[in-house]
């Protein structure tokens, strides 16, 4: 079981639905209203929404999700 699957099992149904809607919005390239920043010295981007952080990168104009985490002191390490 990967880390994203584990996170989905850990959070509530309401949070799961919210997170899925954010991911769908990111993958559909409709980024209006999303808090996205490029991470320094890398090719990765961070999408921040509430306590969730989605780390992704772009490949041929597609967004590839590398990780989804709850925000804590180890999120960006």
User: What confidence tens digit (pLDDT) does each residue in 12-36 have?
Assistant: 899 989 988 998 888 887 778 889 9
Name the residue range of residue 18's domain.
3-70
77 part of a folded domain? no
Does residue 38 register a pLDDT over 90?
yes
**Residue 39 is part of a domain; what is its CATH number?**
3.30.2310.20
List beta partners, residue 53: 48, 69
> Quick one: average pLDDT of 40-45?
93
Q: How many CB atoms lie within 10 A of CB 71?
A: 13
53 part of a folded domain? yes
Q: What is the mean pLDDT of the chain?
A: 86
Q: How far apart are CA 70 and CA 1, in angstroms?
A: 17
Closest CA to 68 of 52, 49, 57: 52
**Total domains in the fold of the chain:** 1
| Segment holding 45, helix H or strand E | strand 44-49
């Amino acid at each position: 079981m990967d880390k994203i699957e584990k996170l989905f099992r850990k959070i509530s149904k309401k949070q799961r639905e919210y997170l899925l809607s954010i991911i769908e919005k990111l993958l559909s390239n409709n980024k209006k209203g999303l808090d996205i920043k490029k991470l320094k010295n890398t090719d990765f981007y961070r999408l921040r929404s509430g306590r969730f952080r989605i780390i992704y990168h772009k490949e041929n104009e597609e967004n590839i999700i590398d990780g989804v985490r709850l925000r804590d002191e180890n999120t960006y390490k």
